[in-house]
């Protein structure tokens, strides 16, 4: 009957979502899925930071190297990290690693480009002063390059973490058995839209908290000179 | 072997016509070819120890480039510069350049900016103590914890001088340091640099400016450049004791002469 079609809700009401959320909290599965997702994001994000930022600084400072490597970067960059999923599973098997790899890819290129840009745009006068004072390589890095790029890199970190959080859910929808993305797919398959909505709610809340944390990091001591200017 | 403090031996500089100036950062030697612009042509000059020499010329005559060659930031395409009988091969802490624009590190307090020049000092406490002494020299000791952007233009320029002096240079290369300052501050800075030069009598100062009064007030010798391409037009020793009265007849005559040489007649 046509009436029954109308009974299919376009969106579950808030009370049902909260009830689903409550049950997910009670049986411990929500915590488990959150931890799984956060773990993947953290590892992928950190791997991207420790590789993309040093490489970006190197490319930003040595233009010849940049000219050689840049076409490769620009070729790989537009390929959606999710397109790598089949290969990720093939290479790394089932488990956390494929998702971590996809998050790593999603974070790597934006961070790399931010680091290249930040270090290529350091005012050349600062390097002349450094050369004039005969600063050692290490001292020039610690006193000129690092503090000069930190503000831009911090901004990129904040934006990239948000992106990593978007990607982890998508990655977990492809062949994962845990995580908030899996929770959504699982809810969909069981036709439990209240659980899907509950997972979305949690994803949004965690995203908000992550952004707040990154914002706090922006007020670190090493950025005081920049903040004081505002 | 040249005996003077700084010896310029037929210094030439050419830029490739479509070359970008940012290449200066790596002190690359521009390749001379048919398509190049001559910036400096056969500069010969001797500067004695402790001398205060001003270089005056129209903008674009290559005086800043000349100073950058002395500092070792730019390699000449012809000729060479010798300091203390050694050819200049790159930037050194004993030939300090004082920049035109703000070159203090904005992420360091001025105390830390100055202490960076003291990297030969043994320990951190020593460095800080010595850096304070240099800030006292330019009367900025009360502002040691300030970041550069919190200071006025004149104070920044003084902090920059303090940092340059902290490296204990025997040659100070000053590139229009006061051009961004207001008139009263410029007058104060003249006194400041004169005082510093008297304190550090062995320090040779090469001072690029386009302010003729500044040159007349400060220097032992004025070098007038013409160009482009930059050439030495003439040298004028100023044998007047400090403090100088700019309105005195000797300096007045000299001023008219310099204006005349520079081809400026409106000011007369």
CATH number where B71 lies: 3.40.50.300
Closest Cα in chain A, distance from residue B82 (Å):
17
Whole-number pLDDT of residue A6:
45
Domain count, chain A: 1
Confirm or reject contact between B92 and chain A (CB < 8 A).
yes
> For each of chain B's 268 residues, which pLDDT tens digit applies?
557 877 878 878 887 765 554 444 444 455 555 567 888 888 888 888 888 899 988 888 888 888 888 888 888 888 888 888 888 888 888 889 988 667 899 998 899 899 888 876 678 888 888 888 888 888 888 888 888 888 888 888 888 888 888 888 889 999 887 877 788 888 888 888 888 888 887 888 999 988 888 888 888 898 988 877 888 888 888 887 777 777 788 877 888 888 888 887 765 5
Give the angle B101-B194-B173 at the CA atoms, nearest 5°: 40
Say how far apart CA B95 and CA B117 lie, in whole Å: 12
For the record, the structure tokens of B247 come out as 């309105």
What's the DSSP call for residue B27? Answer: T
Produce one character per residue of A65-89: b if its CB has 16 or more CB atoms within 10 Å, e if not: ebeebeeebeeeeeeebbebbeebb
Tens of pLDDT, residue by residue over B256-267, are 888 888 887 765
CB contact under 8 A, B93 and A222: no
Interface-testing mutation among A133, A154, A226, with chain B (most B C-beta atoms within 10 A):
A133
Q: Is residue A63 part of a domain?
A: yes
Hunting for tokens 């400016």 — which residue is that?
B209
CB contact under 8 A, A225 and B91: no
Tens of pLDDT, residue by residue over B27-79, are 445 555 556 788 888 888 888 888 889 998 888 888 888 888 888 888 888 88
CB contact under 8 A, A131 and B24: no
CB contact under 8 A, B96 and A132: yes
**B108 contacts in chain A (CB < 8 Å):** 143, 147, 225
Question: What ipTM was estimated for this complex?
Answer: 0.81
Q: Is residue B38 part of a domain?
A: yes
**Among candidates B25, B96, B107 on the partner chain, residue whose Cβ is nearest the Cβ of A225:** B107
Tens of pLDDT, residue by residue over A143-197, are 899 999 988 898 899 999 999 999 988 888 887 888 999 999 999 898 888 999 9
Write the CB contacts of A90 (distance below 8 Å, at least 6 apart in sequence). none
| Residues of the domain holding A56 | 14-227
Q: Is residue A58 part of a domain?
A: yes
Which segments of chain A does DSSP mark as H helices, in order? 2-7, 14-26, 29-61, 63-76, 85-92, 96-120, 124-132, 137-140, 146-172, 180-189, 193-217, 224-227
Q: A174 or A66, which is more confident?
A: A66
Say how far apart CA A105 and CA B12 lie, in whole Å: 51
Q: B232 or A6, which is more confident?
A: B232
Q: Is residue B134 part of a domain?
A: no
Q: Is residue B234 part of a domain?
A: yes
Q: Is residue A105 part of a domain?
A: yes
CATH number where A159 lies: 1.10.3720.10
Q: A30-34 long-range CB contacts below 8 Å, 24 or more apart?
A: A30/A183, A30/A202, A32/A178, A33/A178, A33/A179, A33/A180, A33/A182, A33/A183, A33/A199, A34/A180, A34/A202, A34/A206
Domain count, chain B: 1
**A134 contacts in chain B (CB < 8 Å):** 91-93, 119
**Is residue B53 within 8 Å of B221, Cβ to Cβ?**
yes
User: Number of residue pairs across A and B with CB atoms under 8 Å?
Assistant: 66
Confirm or reject contact between A155 and chain B (CB < 8 A).
no
Closest CA to A164 of A104, A205, A76: A104
Tens of pLDDT, residue by residue over A106-141, are 999 999 999 999 999 998 899 999 998 888 888 889
| Residues of the domain holding B73 | 6-94+169-262
Confirm or reject contact between A229 and chain B (CB < 8 A).
yes
Interface-testing mutation among B105, B114, B177, with chain A (most A C-beta atoms within 10 A):
B105
* Nearest C-alpha in A relative to B169: A133
Strand B204-209, strand B171-175: pairing: parallel
* Nearest C-alpha in A relative to B151: A229
Confirm or reject contact between B28 and chain A (CB < 8 A).
no
**A138 contacts in chain B (CB < 8 Å):** none
């Amino acid at each position: 009957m046509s009436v029954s079609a109308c009974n299919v809700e376009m969106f579950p009401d808030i009370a049902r979502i909260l009830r689903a959320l409550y049950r997910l909290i009670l049986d411990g599965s929500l915590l488990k899925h959150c931890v799984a997702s956060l773990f993947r994001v953290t590892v992928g994000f950190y791997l991207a930071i420790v590789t993309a930022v040093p490489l970006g600084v190197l490319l930003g400072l040595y233009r010849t190297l940049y000219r050689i490597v840049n076409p490769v970067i620009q070729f790989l960059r537009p390929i959606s990290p999710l397109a790598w999923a089949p290969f990720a599973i093939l290479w790394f098997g089932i488990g956390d690693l494929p998702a971590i790899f996809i998050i790593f890819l999603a974070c790597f290129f934006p961070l790399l480009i931010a680091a290249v840009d930040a270090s290529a745009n350091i005012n050349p006068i600062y390097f002349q002063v450094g050369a004039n004072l005969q600063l050692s390589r290490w001292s020039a890095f610690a006193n000129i390059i690092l503090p000069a790029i930190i503000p831009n890199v911090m901004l990129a970190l904040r934006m990239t973490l948000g992106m990593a959080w978007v990607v982890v859910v998508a990655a977990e929808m492809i062949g994962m058995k845990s995580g908030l993305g899996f929770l959504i797919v699982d809810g969909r398959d069981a036709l439990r839209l209240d659980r899907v909505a509950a997972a979305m709610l949690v994803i949004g809340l965690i995203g908000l908290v992550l952004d707040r944390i990154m914002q706090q990091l922006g007020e670190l001591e090493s950025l005081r000179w920049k903040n004081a200017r505002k | 072997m040249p005996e003077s403090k700084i010896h310029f031996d037929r210094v030439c500089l050419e830029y490739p016509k479509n070359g970008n100036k940012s290449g200066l950062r790596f002190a690359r030697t521009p390749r001379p070819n048919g398509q190049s612009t001559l910036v400096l042509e056969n500069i010969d000059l001797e500067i004695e120890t402790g001398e205060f020499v001003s270089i005056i010329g129209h903008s674009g005559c290559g005086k800043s480039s000349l100073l950058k060659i002395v500092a070792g930031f730019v390699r000449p395409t012809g000729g060479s510069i010798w300091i203390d009988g050694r050819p200049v091969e790159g930037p050194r802490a004993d030939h300090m350049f004082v920049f035109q624009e703000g070159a203090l590190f904005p992420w360091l307090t001025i105390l830390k900016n100055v202490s960076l020049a003291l990297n030969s000092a043994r320990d951190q406490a020593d460095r800080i103590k010595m850096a304070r002494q240099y800030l006292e020299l330019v009367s900025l000791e009360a502002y040691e914890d300030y970041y550069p952007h919190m200071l006025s233009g004149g104070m920044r320029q003084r902090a920059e001088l303090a940092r340059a002096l902290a490296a204990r240079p025997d040659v100070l290369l000053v590139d229009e340091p006061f051009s961004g300052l207001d008139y009263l501050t410029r007058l104060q800075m003249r006194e400041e640099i004169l005082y510093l030069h008297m304190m550090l009598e062995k320090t040779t100062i090469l001072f690029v400016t386009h302010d003729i009064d500044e040159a007349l007030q400060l220097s032992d010798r004025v070098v007038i450049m013409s160009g482009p391409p930059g050439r030495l037009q003439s040298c004028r020793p100023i044998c007047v004791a400090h403090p100088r009265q700019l309105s005195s007849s000797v300096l007045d005559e000299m001023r008219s002469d310099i204006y005349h040489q520079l081809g400026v007649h409106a000011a007369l």
